[in-house]
Amino acid sequence: PESLPVTRTGTRQVPGSRQVFCPSNPDYAHAADRIVRRLAQRYADHPAVVLWHVHNEWGNHNALCYCDVSATAFRLWLRERYETLDGLNAAWGTDFWSQRYGDWQEIQPPRDTPAFVNPTQDLDYQRFSSDALLRRHRTESALIREHAPDTPLTTNLMGTLEKKIDGFAFAEQCDVVSVDHYLTAADPQAHIGLALNADLARGMASGAPWMLMEHSTSAVNWQPVNVAKKPGEMRRNSLAHIARGADSVMFFQWRQAKAGAEKWHSAMLPHNGTQSSTWREVTRLGRHLRALTDIRGSTVDAHIALVFDWHAWWALELDARPSSHLRYLDLVHSWYEALWSLGHTCDIVPPGSDLTAYRAVLAPSLYLVTDDDAENLHSYARGGGHLLVGAFSGVVDVNDHVRPGPQPGAFRDLLGLTVDEYLPVRPTDRIALADGSAAHTWAERLVLHSAAATLRFAPGAAGAPAAGEPAITHNPVAAGTAGYLATHPEPAVLRRTIEAFCRAAGARPAADVPVGVEAVRRRTSAGGSFLFLINHLDEAVTVPARGTDMISGLSYEGKCRLGAGDVVIVRE
């Protein structure tokens, strides 16, 4: 029972479900290691084992445990990070609210507290919890590699847009990256979220091909309403993953369970067997996939990078921020949606990665940014890059301390402006912009230094900046440029802004297709290329294409008719 996880309010959870263990528990670790060792010994040389899958969905349900064992492990993690109590007290700013620690034993996980918990403590607990699972992953991986040093190894990193664990850190430990994806039934544009998930999977794989470990043939069972996939939708989903770098498309589950918690999750072979629409669609997909073998190993064409960071996410959503309506995924999603609608393919990368190859880099939200990462973005722009930064970025350092001097602290010089005051607005308020469009949630009162305004505020919401104040800016930086959005524009103006930015940066879509049609290109190292054309519209469209249809064998001499909901893959 000591290995069972404990909730923030102190409830010890019970078996009868899934992932019912504390990530830091040594007894669990011991028992799990024994199983891993036995499995590795037994199957290391088995010819059918071509890949090891370590655990499944680390931390999907038990990422945050608040038990006493976790508390002890947290203290050890803190000792390693800060070495001294003075270091910890400084990093956590414990002078505020008289929280100074005189003994490591006094430190607790951020359990239930009467008022806001110390924010750096909370942030560190998310880091510690991700690390505790990563440690399990490394241990189990090492045990497997001991016996099977030459077999590649992966772990299913879940739908990649999960706050629970730092995906980049786990991906580094895998020979090949694999992820889940499940559509959000409530979102009629859920295929955009799919593309985002896939591009992040590719980012976690540093551009290399990756595996789709799980998706669904139709409905899932864990959302409030589990909408089934429409005819053709599963095929579009599958091929969209491949377009964006997946070299495999697998499903949970093979045969639909008749009992247990996931019996209402769709499967390749559903309850009603082979006399079913689902089975017919699955076998049709299988036939089509066979025609795509040559694509394997090719990489995806992307001239744009979108910056993503789990630490920035964790920090932005801590308690007691200027606005709780500033949600990290909303920001990333809205920028990504603009890119998607414009037909741009982007890599989704951590802020410290090598950006030199990209024509344009977008950073929708970097509230927390380390000094090194900030310098990486600076040097990208100085080197001729085009950078676009979202509101409330560059604000705090690695410890969630506000950077000294005017905001946007880490990006002040880069953006050529300072922030006089952050001006969040009420969720129902709309902020008018000078071109007649609107923004929402957030605004800032800027003082421009070297930057110039490309869009200004109009008379608008209570608390928003005055009419004429800059809303979107542009700053020349050595050979490059750095733009800033001091608000969250509605989709149309965000799209126009990003369109102009990408055009100036010389980034172009893979093909000239209407909004609602995806065009993505994969290239082989030998110079071959494959153009994926995916029609999410309810009507047929004609799009440019030149080459051979890999499924139908048809030849396109410049254009191709793409049926409603259809997918065409052209060998160019």
Q: Which residues are catalytic?
A: 57, 214
Q: How far apart are CA 388 and CA 393, in angstroms?
A: 11
Query: How close are the terminal C-alpha atoms of the chain, in Å?
Result: 60
H-run or E-run covering 37: helix 26-43
Say whether residue 108 binds a copy of itself (CB under 8 A).
yes
Q: Given candidates 47, 48, 50, 275, which one binds a copy of itself under the rule CB under 8 A?
A: 275
Name which of residues 389 to 408 contact a copy of itself (CB under 8 A).
Answer: 399-402, 404-407
Name which of residues 318 to 377 contact a copy of itself (CB under 8 A).
Answer: 319-325
Give Cα separations from 84 to 81, 89, 104 (angstroms): 9, 9, 9
Amino acid at 482: A
Name which of residues 149 to 188 contact a copy of itself (CB under 8 A).
Answer: 185-186, 188
Q: How far apart are CA 328 and CA 309, in angstroms?
A: 10
Name which of residues 184 to 243 contact a copy of itself (CB under 8 A).
Answer: 185-186, 188, 218-219, 221-222, 224-228, 230
Angle at 560 between CA 294 and CA 297, to 5 degrees: 15
Which x/- pattern over 408-447 shows residues binding a copy of itself (rule: CB under 8 A)? ----------xxxxxxxxxx-----------------x--
Instruction: Report which of 236, 91, 303 is spatially closest to residue 565, judged by C-alpha positions.
Output: 236
Q: Given candidates 121, 130, 238, 437, which one binds a copy of itself under the rule CB under 8 A?
A: 121
Give yes or no for a contact between 111 and 10, defined as CB atoms under 8 angstroms apart: yes
Q: Given candidates 47, 80, 258, 527, which one binds a copy of itself under the rule CB under 8 A?
A: 258
Pairing of strands 386-389, 360-363: parallel
Name which of residues 45 to 74 contact a copy of itself (CB under 8 A).
Answer: 60-62
Say whether residue 529 binds a copy of itself (CB under 8 A).
no
**449 CB-near residues (< 8 Å, 6+ apart):** 416, 417, 418
Pairing of strands 386-389, 470-477: unpaired
H-run or E-run covering 133: helix 119-147
Name which of residues 283 to 312 contact a copy of itself (CB under 8 A).
Answer: none
Q: How far apart are CA 229 and CA 226, in angstroms?
A: 9
Q: Given candidates 31, 76, 261, 479, which one binds a copy of itself under the rule CB under 8 A?
A: 261
- DSSP output for 397-423: -TTSPBPSSSBSGGGHHHHTEEEEEE-
Q: Which DSSP letter does residue 229 get? A: P
Nearer to a copy of itself, 16 or 558 (CB): 16
Say whether residue 34 binds a copy of itself (CB under 8 A).
no
Nearer to a copy of itself, 238 or 278 (CB): 278
Phi-psi region at 83: left, alpha or beta (left = phi > 0; alpha = psi -120 to 50): left
Q: Which two tokens stand for residue 221?
A: 């069972």
Nearer to a copy of itself, 385 or 424 (CB): 424
Q: Given candidates 27, 46, 116, 478, which one binds a copy of itself under the rule CB under 8 A?
A: 116
Give yes or no for a contact between 165 and 56, defined as CB atoms under 8 angstroms apart: no
Nearer to a copy of itself, 402 or 478 (CB): 402
Q: Given candidates 48, 50, 80, 259, which one binds a copy of itself under the rule CB under 8 A?
A: 259
What residues pair up with 346 in beta bridges, in sequence order?
304
**226 CB-near residues (< 8 Å, 6+ apart):** 185, 219, 220, 264
CB of 347 to a copy of itself, least distance (A): 31
Say whether residue 278 binds a copy of itself (CB under 8 A).
yes
Residue with tokens 């100074």: 100
**193 CB-near residues (< 8 Å, 6+ apart):** 161, 183, 184, 187, 333
Name which of residues 455 to 514 contact a copy of itself (CB under 8 A).
Answer: 462-463
Give yes or no for a contact between 304 and 362, defined as CB atoms under 8 angstroms apart: yes
Give Cα separations from 1 to 12, 20, 23, 55, 240 (angstroms): 9, 10, 14, 21, 44
CB of 316 to a copy of itself, least distance (A): 12
Q: How far apart are CA 163 and CA 142, in angstroms?
A: 26
Q: Given candidates 70, 141, 178, 256, which one binds a copy of itself under the rule CB under 8 A?
A: 256
CB of 466 to a copy of itself, least distance (A): 8
Say whether residue 272 binds a copy of itself (CB under 8 A).
yes
CB of 35 to a copy of itself, least distance (A): 11
CB of 3 to a copy of itself, least distance (A): 13
Nearer to a copy of itself, 20 or 208 (CB): 20
Give yes or no for a contact between 177 and 171, defined as CB atoms under 8 angstroms apart: yes
Nearer to a copy of itself, 50 or 259 (CB): 259
CB of 195 to a copy of itself, least distance (A): 19
- DSSP output for 499-513: HHHHHHHT---SS--
Which x/- pattern over 75-104 shows residues binding a copy of itself (rule: CB under 8 A)? -----------------xxxxxx-x-----
CB of 220 to a copy of itself, least distance (A): 9
- Taking CB under 8 A as the binding criterion, the range among 43-51, 106-114, 242-250, 383-391 that sits at the site for a copy of itself is 106-114
Nearer to a copy of itself, 92 or 457 (CB): 92
CB of 513 to a copy of itself, least distance (A): 22
Nearer to a copy of itself, 171 or 183 (CB): 183
CB of 251 to a copy of itself, least distance (A): 16
Nearer to a copy of itself, 392 or 532 (CB): 392
Torsions phi, psi of 426, nearest 5? Answer: -65, 150
CB of 404 to a copy of itself, least distance (A): 7
Nearer to a copy of itself, 419 or 550 (CB): 419
CB of 489 to a copy of itself, least distance (A): 18
Size of the site for a copy of itself (CB under 8 A): 97
Give Cα separations from 106 to 74, 97, 99, 404 (angstroms): 12, 16, 10, 30
